[in-house]
Amino acid sequence: MKRILLVDDDMDDLFFFCEALGEVAPQIECETAFNGKHALHKLQHERPFFFDIIITDINMPLMDGKSLIEATKTFNHCPPIIILSTSREDPALLLLGAAKVYRKPSFTIQLKKIIEEIIETYSI
């Protein structure tokens, strides 16, 4: 089974993403973390290769998305990290190590298109 780790401090965004993913690709499991520190704990204890991709917000308490990307650089293997944030798209995030940066959409139909693109691009 394919698995996505979704990292976001907004519970509504977590819910809407997992719901949209379930409609687009019910075969993919959506696991969540509520900030970068929680995600890093999951990655350290469940092994990074347990997930096929990580999708993270940027602005979160305790550990933001940028710090999460930096922290995963110490792993021997880490799945691609995609940024999905309301913050404006910042090309520096790609230089930092993000595979792709998306602006968080306002509508479910747009979110589903992003999910479809991620699934196709990363063969999930």
The continuous run of DSSP H or E covering 40 comes out as helix 36-46
Say if CB 36 and CB 108 are below 8 A apart: no
Say whether 71 sits in a helix, a strand or coil.
helix
**Cα 8 to the center of its chain, rounded Å:** 8
Element (H, E) at 111: helix 108-121
Q: What's the domain range around 12?
A: 2-121
The dihedrals phi and psi of 101, each to the nearest 5 degrees, come to: -125, 125
Give residue 95's pLDDT: 85
pLDDT tens over the chain, length 124 residues:
899 999 999 999 999 999 999 999 999 999 999 999 999 999 988 765 689 999 999 999 999 999 999 999 888 888 999 999 988 767 788 888 999 999 999 899 999 999 999 999 999 8
The CATH number of the domain holding residue 34 is: 3.40.50.2300
Cα–Cα dist 36/91, whole Å: 20
| Domains contained in the chain, number | 1
